[in-house]
Amino acid sequence: MNVKLQDVKRVLFLRKDPAQVVQVRARHFSRLKSVSAAAICFTIISTFVVVHLSSRTQQEVAENNKLQSEVTALQSQIDNKTAADDSLNTVKAASNSQAVTYIQSIQGKLKQINDYLRKRGLAGITYKKINTDGSTSQKLSDNQLYSTYDDYLTRLVADVSLMPMGYPHIGALTSFFGYRSNPFDFGENEFHPGIDFKGHIGDQVKCTASGKVIFAGREGGYGNCIHIQHANNIETWYGHLSHINVHEGQRVSVGDVIGRVGSTGRSTGPHLHYEIRKNGKPINPIAYLSLNK
């Protein structure tokens, strides 16, 4: 006969001592079974949770380490960028300071050149002085400053090329501007409107400024002569030439060979007569031979 546990009211546990008998109700065994099953389920679930949480913790630790590495790398880049910016600012500040020094030097040279030109009765180049004390220079970029002075210097180069300067022929000076003894009139005084350079027949004669040839031919005591018109109503004359290389209306540039030394006209020997005239009146060419005079 099959007997189910729920049909059993008591279970007896006998020990060696017959006097000690333990009676346990059968329903307690059913409860114990349920509790055991619940404990096993709890243990299984707890183990799963612990394993899952441990895996998540390891992943989070790995992610944190990765993020920390990225943060460290970014911080290093920021530090390098900051250091590079500081270095660039230092270099830029030094460059700006040097640029201001150069600009001040350029302004000084422009003023000096203008002083030289005005001493010769020539109009100096006009330019607007830029303050370099910080108030104005801060409003202008380096490129604007350089561009402004580049324009001034370009105009200066153009103006200087149109002003007679230097020697039309390299040779000893044999006669100067002003009154002198007339070699053809028994020593009587005469006014000499230019200066004479000693030379040899065929030596080169160069124009001392860019301009336009307004006369090229024979002209009385000047012999073969060239007149060149320049800026500011200035003309240069070249006399006693053996040969003329240019023609009227021709544009010439400073340094061009316009003729050859000769002894034509009223001359006692091979030489070049050189004149500078302003507004039609002769002026002393000596002042135009060098900017330092």
Burial label, 40 (beta-carbon count in 10 A; 0-12, 13-18, 19+): exposed
pTM: 0.56
Please report, as a single letter, which amino acid is at residue 36.
Answer: S
Please report, as a single letter, which amino acid is at residue 249.
Answer: G
What pLDDT, on the 0 to 100 scale, is given for residue 94? 60
CB-CB contact of 162 with 210 (8 Å): yes
Residue 279 gets which letter from DSSP?
A: T
pLDDT grade for 137, boundaries at 50, 70 and 90: very low
Output the CA–CA distances (angstroms, integers) from residue 182 to 49, 60, 235, 251, 271, in the order listed: 129, 113, 25, 35, 16
Q: Which residue has the tokens 């993020």?
A: 67
| The CATH number of the domain covering residues in 173-288 | 2.70.70.10
What pLDDT, on the 0 to 100 scale, is given for residue 2? 53
What pLDDT, on the 0 to 100 scale, is given for residue 140? 56
Instruction: Give residue limits of the domains in the chain.
Output: 93-161, 173-288
Give the tens place of pLDDT for each residue, 28-42: 556 666 777 777 887
Alpha carbons within 13 A on the beta-carbon side of 209:
28
Give the tens place of pLDDT for each residue, 152-193: 777 777 777 778 888 999 999 999 999 887 666 655 788 999
Q: Is the pLDDT of residue 16 over 60?
A: no
Q: Which residue has the tokens 């006669």?
A: 175
What pLDDT, on the 0 to 100 scale, is given for residue 82? 74
Can you say how many angstroms the Cα of residue 173 is from the centroid of all Cα atoms in its chain? Answer: 46
Alpha carbons within 13 A on the beta-carbon side of 49:
6
SS3 255: coil
pLDDT grade for 8, boundaries at 50, 70 and 90: very low
Please give the helix or strand (H or E) that residue 24 lies within, else none. strand 21-25
SS3 59: helix
Q: Is the pLDDT of residue 13 over 70?
A: no
